Structure 1
Amino acid sequence: MSFRVGGVVLSRLLLALSVILTPIYFLLLFAFSPVKLRPAPLPFDIVVANYPLFHSILQYSGFEQPWIMVINYIFAPLFFSLPWLLFVALNHERIIRTFEVLDATTTIVPLRYRIFYGFNTLLLLVFFLLPALFPVLSVVSSVILVGRVLNTSEWFWRHGKIVKIATCIIAFTVICWGPVYLTALYYLERLHVFLTSWLWDLWANNMVITYTVSMCIVNALAIGSIVWLIFAGSAEFEAKTFGVALTKPPYRAIAILEAVFFILFIYIGLPYIYVPGWPPRYLIWGSNPSILYDRINYICLGLISLVTLVGMTKGLRRRTFNFSLFGLIIAGGFLGLDMVTGNYIRTLAILPKMLTPFILSVTLSSPWGLLTMDINYFLNLYIPYYELPRALMQIYFFGGAQTALTLAMYVVMLIHSSVTHVTSAMTLTALIWVTTTIYCFAKAGTTRG
């Protein structure tokens, strides 16, 4: 991965971004979460925090709320980011080589699948893995950090046994108390249960959005690839005719063109933007997802196939192509999973366009409609798929339409089935990516450069 962005090697840029974005992720997680860590007065007796007298003292002194904010917005993001920050500090050069090995191993995987499933794997890690494991790993990381600090300290090894024991106790107390205390709060207050439920709702409600955004990225890159192919072909013709290539692909202009088409595809295909909160809201601008799924996707797939075919036959490649067995297995797995997930996502994206006119027409034709139905449905002329059952049940309860009850039950089963199948498929792709990354990390350990 020797590409450069603004003079910086892309692999190093990605590593730097991961270091910056990990604490920001935990900060946003606790900032938007409906539940917060409520610190106890003593690490060894969390029940004391529930005593009314203690709470009244804190509230009277005005200290409770600021302390809760400090815990959730400063200490928790820093301590829970410690595992990745420490891992990067100890293995930064090897991680950079891992990016390069991963890039070389997966070049045979079509860009469409690498971007799409890589993006969704990142989302799965963000939604489920990081909140579940990093609190525990923060404790382990703090212990490792203390061990490395003491092991590399010449002062520590020059003193006797008593001084060493006292130093170990002090070092472990100073460095480890924070992660241990916050991890105990995190699990004893069952915050992981609330966060899992909240994040699952976010995932289920945003599944169509993430899928559509991924496809828009890939489709925009397909447009850029065909433009690059035209300039690359011109350069090859000039090289054969005049002995020198005068035309060079305008990479910056192509990147701008890809960004413009990405915004255009988002406007056309993204049905809504989910805004978390209570109650949750959504923004609509009257898009038509069927155009993206039924037309644009197939056109861009044809463009990608054309660019790949011409590049392989003419030697016009934007990068080195590596036919590895491991890459072939990954490509085959992604192709099979794409066949499984595509139909489910397409159904969830297009179903609201089919049922919304029916729901609104029935609502407007009844005297109770405008009094009971959410006004946003009429303002947006679109009902997200996760709100369809509620809207249909309102029609059934107030109007007695048996058809609405049947449709509501069907939509509930369809959503449950789609979310389950797509999440399972995405989990499998995440396992494929994680396995590939571990393989490349191990391989990078034997590579020096």
Structure 2
Amino acid sequence: MSPDWLLSRVTVVLLAIVGPIYFFLLMLFIPQMMPFGDPWLDFLFHYLAAPTVFSLPWIGTIYYQRYRLANTVHIMDETITAVPLRWRVFYGANAAFILMVFILPMATPVIALIEGLVVAGHVFYRVGVGKLGGGKPAALLGVVVAIGLCILPAFVMIEFLPVYLNLWTNILLAWESFWLQIAYGFAQCLVNALSFGAPVYFIYFGAQQYDRGLYGEVYTKTPTAKIRLMEFILFIVFLFIYLPPIPTPFGIIPFLDQSNLFYNYINWASLAIVGIMILVKFRLKVEGDTTIGGVSNIFVIGLFLVVELFFKANLVLITSIIWLAFIIYAALAVVSYLRASSRELY
């Protein structure tokens, strides 16, 4: 098995592991559900039964679609190979944030109930019609088993959704007043760090093209690891400057809250770098360079920088471009999934 195929399978396994961890952690951050009025039963329901019910449908889906998911990962990797890793991290980070905060908590209870109904129907058919040969006793047993399989997911959904909908209001308020700045600041710092790193990649790309034209082969090697380290250090520095102090259970992280430096200086510099590189590539008719990605990538990068410079106070616009980055990544995932085979490939 090639390393690429092995990596796709490892990714699917990691998804199956990370999913339950996410749901168990999610239950730590929402108010405890208390359907029974008994502290011990409520504790078990909230911290064990609910995350288990949420996790099982995803684990089951991942298992039954494991080959197709692995092929999806492989197709996505082949599709976005031309996009540098740093930009893949950018889109992936935005997608993960939207998925974990907005989509999974609302969609999972409903999915759990639907999959419970599907499994219940399958069990009813197998027990009531197939295994026991039909008849009223077998059908009755099938109905009892099927109802039993639906009760817990339905009960969890009934208890969870009102709690999360109430929490949803607080999430939106916190999003508007605080966490939007955190999420957007994270993306903004990443965009700036990658924008500053792009010219370095471009210089080495130009040197390689010069080698190829003069000597017929490339002697100049791009120090990718060093450039990535530089971008990472820049990202951490930018993050420390941009973000406000963040309270945590272990104390306050003392970020500097100097975002004004970005829309006064740093974002202008990043926008200038992106603009100059686009003009240079267009003027010199450069082909095969992936330092700032394709048209869609340039569009999203430009949006982040322009919105930060001119529309920083527009909550809807800022939220929209974070969702745009998610939609681009999600659309690629959906298209790759539809193209993927459900058979095991090597």
Alignment RMSD (CA, Å): 4.4
1:144 aligns with 2:118: yes
| Paired residues of 1:221 and 1:258 also in contact (CA < 8 A) | yes
Distance 2:212 2:195 in 1: 25
| Paired residues of 1:23 and 1:77 also in contact (CA < 8 A) | yes
Question: 2:26 aligned to 16, 25, 29, which one?
Answer: 29
Inter-CA distance 164–314: structure 2 relative to 1 (3 Å threshold) = farther
When normalised by structure 1's length, the TM-score is 0.60
Residue in structure 2 matched with residue 372 of structure 1 by the alignment: none
Question: 1:423 aligned to 304, 319, 330, which one?
Answer: 319
| Paired residues of 1:337 and 1:425 also in contact (CA < 8 A) | yes
Residue in structure 2 matched with residue 393 of structure 1 by the alignment: none
Deviation at 1:121, TM superposition (A): 4.4
Inter-CA distance 295–149: structure 2 relative to 1 (3 Å threshold) = farther
Residue in structure 1 matched with residue 259 of structure 2 by the alignment: 289
| Paired residues of 1:82 and 1:141 also in contact (CA < 8 A) | no
1:6-48 C-alpha deviation (Å, 9 max, x unpaired): x963x55554443333322222222122x211132xxxxxxxx
Higher relative contact order (CA 8 A, sep 6+): 2
1:183 aligns with 2:157: yes
| Paired residues of 1:127 and 1:203 also in contact (CA < 8 A) | no
Inter-CA distance 183–337: structure 2 relative to 1 (3 Å threshold) = same
Inter-CA distance 101–424: structure 2 relative to 1 (3 Å threshold) = same
Residue in structure 2 matched with residue 370 of structure 1 by the alignment: none
Deviation at 1:266, TM superposition (A): 0.9
Inter-CA distance 234–117: structure 2 relative to 1 (3 Å threshold) = closer
1:257 aligns with 2:223: no
Distance 1:244 1:428 in 2: 40
Alignment of 1:101-116 (within 5 A): 101=75
| Paired residues of 1:110 and 1:331 also in contact (CA < 8 A) | no
Alignment of 1:86-165 (within 5 A): 86-99=60-73, 101=75, 119-147=93-121, 157-162=130-135, 165=139
Residue in structure 2 matched with residue 172 of structure 1 by the alignment: 146
1:174-207 C-alpha deviation (Å, 9 max, x unpaired): 54433222122224xx213222122223322210
Question: 1:18 aligned to 15, 19, 22, which one?
Answer: 15
Question: 2:194 aligned to 221, 233, 237, which one?
Answer: 221
When normalised by structure 2's length, the TM-score is 0.75
Q: Which moved more, 1:195-204 or 1:241-250?
A: 241-250
| Paired residues of 1:128 and 1:199 also in contact (CA < 8 A) | no
Inter-CA distance 86–293: structure 2 relative to 1 (3 Å threshold) = farther
Structure 1 unmatched runs, 5+: 41-48, 50-63, 323-327, 348-417
Distance 2:114 2:184 in 1: 35
Calculate percent identity across the aligned residue pairs.
25
| Paired residues of 2:109 and 2:157 also in contact (CA < 8 A) | yes
